[in-house]
């Protein structure tokens, strides 16, 4: 006990000696959030970059802080990770957690924390703390307590941003078994997708397609659970229909890695609604309730990025004094989940004749209809839960970079994963993954 007190005093002393405490644990208005991000950027100019991906309806910048040792630059085989929060403007815990996390990581990097340094040396990490700053300001400035349950949820045009993405689930539902279920944005355009996109949605869609994101989480509030694809049911059932994605086991692995590292998400009886039971603190999205047009499935179906949705607690806009508690509960889970961007298999795909990057290729796992496209530098990152897999490269499709998809013919993007005659497979064992350095390297010359 005496030792505990000494350690506590020491850590307080360290914080005071640095002239500022690590964590400014309060709600931050849009202006204060901007200042906070600028502060972190100023403290760690070599390990961070502040940029905007567009503007909200009311003209607020959608600010992203990038952390890592190569800000603004892709480096070969360095994966991109993202956290997005506050998409529903009145769900605010994730926003504050990302601010603190950014400050924490920047300070710890400078302090020589090896775990944080390793993560930041090997990963491009992007935080969008507020995807819906207009909704946030509305919720923050609501004059009375308690705030109404959904006040500030939508953007300034009254649109729920998590229903405003192209409904790629509807497309995926129509794809015959075994055919490709990735990079579907082209299909939606073809199907005459005239849905009006909000500026916040548009900005995030472009951002998703522009970067080589591998792993992501979307931070919400109102329940306590880690939710994974698919989010929408194919049979139209609104609740209780488990809609498996081709990567069900990998998504369960990723979602569990958050829930079990969280202080109580995976424990019994933590769901906010008495009728809900989430085994191990995770749920298939459609099994919980069906969400067409959501961001999570857009990531998975339009890009190489795997995204899950995290509900961080029952209270959407909790009292300020409870915020440190949320940090304690989520800190390890947030760090642990980020490190999972280094799981599975990665490598280079090179043209055997010319030695050039084979950016037209698709990396295929036998028995899995979800392909991963090779980047223009010839890299791929294939997240997978621990296990034995057969992996190969398919040249069936001739598209490369995500942006180039838009005008391609639909049929060209299908391949038949059941037809292994077109593809030579190699056995790879994916071990239990503990973060940077754990991705299995497998290069291909084709
Ligand atoms: C991270 O990179 C920096 C800069 O190259 C280096 O000084 C540091 O030792 C690295 N830390 C770890 C844990 O790899
Ligand atoms: C598999 O592909 C080969 C080569 O393109 C083709 O001849 C064969 O008919 C296909 N088999 C099936 C079952 O689709
Ligand atoms: Zn939400």
Cα–ligand 1 centroid distance for 381 (angstroms)? 23
**CA proximity to 69, closest of 383, 436, 382:** 436
* pLDDT attached to residue 194: 58
Taking a C-beta distance cutoff of 8 angstroms, is the pair 168, 243 a contact? Answer: no
- 21-342 architecture in CATH? 3-Layer(aba) Sandwich (3.40)
Q: What is the pLDDT of residues 33-58, one digit of tens each?
A: 999 999 999 999 999 999 999 999 99
Looking at residues 20-42, what average pLDDT do you find? 87
Segment among 184-193, 282-291, 340-349 with least mean pLDDT: 184-193
Residues whose CB is less than 8 angstroms from the CB of residue 71 and which lie 6 or more positions away in sequence, other chains included: 46, 47, 48, 49, 124
What percent of the chain clears pLDDT 70, i.e. is strictly above it?
86
Among 111, 120, 121, 125, say which to mutate for ligand 1: greatest number of ligand atoms within 8 Å of CB. Answer: 121
345-445 and 21-342 share a CATH fold = no
* pLDDT attached to residue 21: 52
| pLDDT grade for 401, boundaries at 50, 70 and 90 | very low
| pLDDT grade for 396, boundaries at 50, 70 and 90 | low
| pLDDT grade for 23, boundaries at 50, 70 and 90 | low
| pLDDT grade for 397, boundaries at 50, 70 and 90 | very low
Domains in the chain: boundaries: 21-342, 345-445
Taking a C-beta distance cutoff of 8 angstroms, is the pair 102, 34 a contact? Answer: no
Cα–ligand 1 centroid distance for 336 (angstroms)? 19
Looking at residues 387-403, what average pLDDT do you find? 65
Cα–ligand 1 centroid distance for 110 (angstroms)? 10
311 given a catalytic annotation: yes
Q: What is the pLDDT of residues 421-436, one digit of tens each?
A: 456 788 999 999 999 9
Domain 345-445 sits in CATH 2.60.40.1120: yes
- Looking at the predicted structure, is the pLDDT value of residue 306 above 50? yes
Rg (CA), the chain: 22
Among 176, 415, 416, 419, say which to mutate for ligand 2: greatest number of ligand atoms within 8 Å of CB. Answer: 419
Question: Residue 3: which region, alpha, beta or left (left: phi > 0; alpha: psi -120 to 50)?
Answer: alpha
Run of H or E residues at 186: helix 185-190
Run of H or E residues at 365: strand 362-365
- Looking at the predicted structure, is the pLDDT value of residue 412 above 50? no
- Looking at the predicted structure, is the pLDDT value of residue 61 above 50? yes
b/e map 71-93, b = 16+ CB within 10 Å: beebeebbbbbbbbbbbbbbbbb
Q: Ligand 2: which residue has its CA nearest to atom 10? A: 419
* pLDDT attached to residue 186: 52
- Looking at the predicted structure, is the pLDDT value of residue 284 above 50? yes
* pLDDT attached to residue 225: 97
* pLDDT attached to residue 105: 97
Segment among 62-76, 325-339, 356-370 with least mean pLDDT: 356-370
């Amino acid at each position: 006990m005496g030792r505990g007190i000494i350690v506590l005093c020491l850590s307080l002393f360290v914080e005071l000696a640095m002239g500022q405490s690590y964590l400014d644990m309060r709600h931050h208005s849009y202006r204060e959030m901007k200042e906070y991000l600028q502060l972190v950027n100023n403290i760690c100019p070599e390990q961070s970059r502040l940029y905007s991906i567009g503007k909200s309806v009311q003209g607020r910048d959608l600010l992203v802080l990038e952390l890592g040792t190569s800000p603004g630059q892709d480096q070969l085989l360095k994966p991109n990770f993202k956290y997005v929060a506050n998409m529903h403007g009145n769900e605010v815990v994730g926003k504050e957690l990302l601010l603190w996390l950014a400050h924490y990581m920047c300070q710890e990097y400078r302090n020589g924390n090896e775990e944080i340094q390793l993560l930041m040396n090997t990963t491009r990490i992007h935080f969008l703390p507020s995807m819906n700053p207009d909704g946030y300001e509305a919720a923050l400035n609501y004059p009375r307590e308690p705030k109404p349950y959904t006040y500030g949820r939508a953007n300034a045009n009254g649109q729920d941003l998590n229903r405003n993405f192209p409904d790629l689930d509807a497309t995926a539902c129509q794809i015959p078994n075994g055919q490709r279920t990735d990079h579907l944005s082209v299909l939606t355009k073809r199907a005459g997708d005239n849905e009006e996109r909000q500026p916040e949605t548009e900005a995030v869609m472009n951002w998703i397609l522009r970067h080589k994101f591998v792993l992501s989480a979307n931070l919400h509030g109102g329940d306590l659970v880690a939710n994974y694809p698919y989010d929408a049911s194919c049979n139209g059932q609104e609740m209780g229909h488990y809609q498996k994605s081709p990567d069900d086991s990998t998504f369960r692995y990723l979602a569990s890695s958050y829930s079990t590292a969280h202080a109580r998400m995976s424990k019994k009886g933590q769901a906010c609604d008495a009728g809900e039971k989430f085994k191990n603190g995770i749920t298939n999205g459609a099994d919980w309730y069906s969400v067409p047009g959501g961001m999570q499935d857009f990531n998975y179906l339009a890009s190489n990025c795997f995204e899950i949705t995290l509900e961080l607690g029952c209270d959407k806009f909790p009292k300020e004094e409870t915020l440190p508690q949320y940090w304690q509960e989520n800190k390890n889970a947030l760090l642990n989940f980020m490190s999972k961007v280094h799981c599975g298999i990665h490598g280079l795909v090179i043209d055997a004749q010319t030695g050039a990057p084979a950016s037209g290729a698709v990396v295929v796992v036998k028995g899995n209809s979800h392909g991963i496209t090779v980047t223009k530098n010839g890299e791929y990152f294939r997240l997978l839960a621990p296990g034995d897999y057969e992996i190969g490269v398919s040249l069936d499709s001739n598209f490369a970079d995500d942006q180039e998809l838009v005008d391609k013919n639909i049929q060209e993007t299908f391949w038949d994963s059941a037809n292994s005659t077109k593809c030579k497979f190699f056995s790879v064992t994916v071990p239990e993954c503990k973060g940077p350095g754990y991705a299995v390297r497998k290069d291909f010359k084709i």
